[in-house]
A and B are shown apart, each in its own frame.
Chain A
């Protein structure tokens, strides 16, 4: 029998995220765990190594909140809008505040990052890939290395495994023991979760085990590797959850002017993170009217028949 892993976001982050950890909050545009990121800021975690393919606004906020010493990534931008200003200020020497330590960076391509998680999830010492030839990326990052095939004369590139101390993923639903189901863009959450030492799953909805068992093909992560299940409706806002709420593009656009000015950004963190106890309060502050604009129409899948075999 499995016991319930349901926890509050406060307790999950307090118990499972430790100063100095390598933390991956994965989810490619879709299902970005903003509520978890905000809790890490609120608990003033320090010296984290943050890994994410696309750091996105969530890591811009976390790095502005002072939680990180290093960033591992493959695309550093606010999609369709521009740069991530808080992170840029920690990378460009001319923008650094006096005495401020630059953010350490370790940079890959998208395929390099998913390959790192895949190697980590599979327990392998590296993952080979046909990329990086004739680019400056291996010079910028000595962990991208050429490797000779043991079966031919070919030389390709390899990247090392990435095994986060903690991976946090957001999902549509899970049961109390952490069996987790996702639909829509899958990103690299499965790989990042299997690669991690500890896994926190944040869901829109807690469901009965029977709901999971009725559609096992949709399970991306089994409870076996999950340490905590947090139920946080709207926890991915301003990112989105397929079928539940749309991406809040207005927020992504608004973030650009907010993040250009460090003082304005810090005020935003006070208003929306430090002075807000949890996601429920954030949602209330955001207001029903704003959320109503994010409600998609309906496009249900057909159902399939798994068959009964007695």
Chain B
């Protein structure tokens, strides 16, 4: 696996979380997902984005979780929050009305344009593997102003064609996506970043993923071996700054002390 500890003493999952947290600098309202996004967002609030408002689909605005929960509907997101609302209100007034700056999504499959599948592997009516499905992902992809994707790279996940489109990304390309978003009155501008265990991808003018930064310890050979298409690599490829001691301390001591997500 790609989760081996790389020099100097942090895991690839930790690098991924730290890189995702840094991407949240300057953002205001973030829709948080379970697992890795949850850690990244809480890390961002303690570092680059102290004013970040954490929104949980379970119906919480302005959460201040005191512990990192296993589930997304944990009681810690309620105690001390700014507001607890019904899920209809959350999806209608907060998300659909356009108040969410960033929505975090993960998926089982992603294509080069950032379209996501979290529903099924194989045919829908006779699935090889039945996955959880949309939850709020489909409307987050459409109505959060920016979508951040956090996923580990593998050739099974970064595929030429996804088996089911649960959450629209840049569809077949930027031009088409932009016209359709405008016609449908979407709040969303689509995916803006994909943070993986190997690097940071943004989307170029054609709407396709482009590797802009390579994490320490990762190689371009590894990047190519874990992606099913010939990936675009930036001419100005950067090296991701390794996690600082403080970032690592927050992740290890406060956010995931059991190492559930970060080992």
Residues of A within 8 A of B (CB): 28-30, 53-54, 73-77, 79-81, 83, 87-88, 91-94, 107-111, 114-115, 117-118, 129-137, 139-140, 154-156, 183-188, 190-191, 240, 242-243, 246-247, 249, 252-253, 296, 299
On chain B, the residues within 8 Å of A53 by CB distance are: 87
Select from chain A the residue with minimum beta-carbon distance to B137. Answer: A109
Q: Is the Cβ of A136 less than 8 Å from the Cβ of B79?
A: no
| Interface mask (B148-185 → A, CB under 8 Å = 1, otherwise 0) | 00000000000000001111100100000000100011
Chain A nearest Cβ from B181, distance in angstroms: 8
Q: Is the Cβ of A77 less than 8 Å from the Cβ of B130?
A: no
Q: Is the Cβ of A92 less than 8 Å from the Cβ of B130?
A: yes
Q: Is the Cβ of A80 less than 8 Å from the Cβ of B59?
A: no
A246 to B143, CA, bound (A): 33
Q: 8 Å CB contacts to A: which residues of B58-115?
A: 58-60, 69-75, 78-80, 84-88, 91-92, 95-96
Q: Is the Cβ of B185 less than 8 Å from the Cβ of A130?
A: yes
B228 within 8 A of A: no
Q: Is the Cβ of B73 less than 8 Å from the Cβ of A133?
A: no
Task: Give how many A-B residue pairs fall within 8 Å (CB-CB).
Answer: 180
Chain B nearest Cβ from A74, distance in angstroms: 6
Q: Is the Cβ of B71 less than 8 Å from the Cβ of A111?
A: no
Please name 26 pairs of A and B residues whose Cβ atoms are closer than 8 Å in the assembled complex, sorted by A. Answer: A28-B73, A75-B133, A79-B73, A81-B70, A92-B130, A110-B57, A110-B87, A110-B91, A110-B136, A111-B95, A114-B91, A118-B88, A129-B139, A131-B138, A132-B139, A132-B142, A135-B165, A140-B124, A140-B164, A155-B184, A185-B59, A242-B75, A242-B78, A247-B74, A253-B70, A299-B80
B126 within 8 A of A: yes
Q: Is the Cβ of A29 less than 8 Å from the Cβ of B166?
A: no
A37 to B15, CA, bound (A): 42
Q: 8 Å CB contacts to A: which residues of B170-209?
A: 171, 180, 184-186
Residues of B within 8 A of A (CB): 34-35, 57-60, 69-75, 78-80, 84-88, 91-92, 95-96, 119, 124, 126-139, 142-143, 164-168, 171, 180, 184-186
A197 to B57, CA, bound (A): 28
A135 to B168, CA, bound (A): 6
On chain A, the residues within 8 Å of B143 by CB distance are: 130-131
Select from chain A the residue with minimum beta-carbon distance to B122. Answer: A92
Q: Which of A83, A92, A115, A132 contacts B88 (CB 8 A)?
A: A115
On chain A, the residues within 8 Å of B137 by CB distance are: 109
A135 to B96, CA, bound (A): 17
On chain A, the residues within 8 Å of B57 by CB distance are: 110
Q: Which of B75, B128, B136 contacts A30 (CB 8 A)?
A: B75
Q: Is the Cβ of A74 less than 8 Å from the Cβ of B186?
A: no
Q: Is the Cβ of A83 less than 8 Å from the Cβ of B87?
A: no
A139 to B119, CA, bound (A): 13
Q: Is the Cβ of A28 less than 8 Å from the Cβ of B136?
A: no
Top 4 nearest A-B pairs (CB, nearest first) are: A29-B73, A75-B135, A77-B132, A79-B71
On chain A, the residues within 8 Å of B128 by CB distance are: 92, 94
A296 to B75, CA, bound (A): 10
Q: Is the Cβ of A79 less than 8 Å from the Cβ of B70?
A: yes
On chain A, the residues within 8 Å of B88 by CB distance are: 114-115, 117-118, 188, 191
Q: Which of B96, B130, B132, B133 contacts A130 (CB 8 A)?
A: B96
Chain B nearest Cβ from A217, distance in angstroms: 12
On chain A, the residues within 8 Å of B180 by CB distance are: 133-134
Query: If A30-B73, A186-B85, A249-B71 touch, does A134 touch B168 (CB 8 Å cutoff)?
Result: yes
A131 to B180, CA, bound (A): 13
Q: Which of B59, B92, B124, B129 contacts A28 (CB 8 A)?
A: B59
Query: If A135-B165, A155-B184 touch, does A185 touch B139 (CB 8 Å cutoff)?
Result: no
Q: Is the Cβ of B86 less than 8 Å from the Cβ of A30?
A: no
Q: Is the Cβ of A185 less than 8 Å from the Cβ of B96?
A: no
Select from chain B the residue with minimum beta-carbon distance to A130. Answer: B96
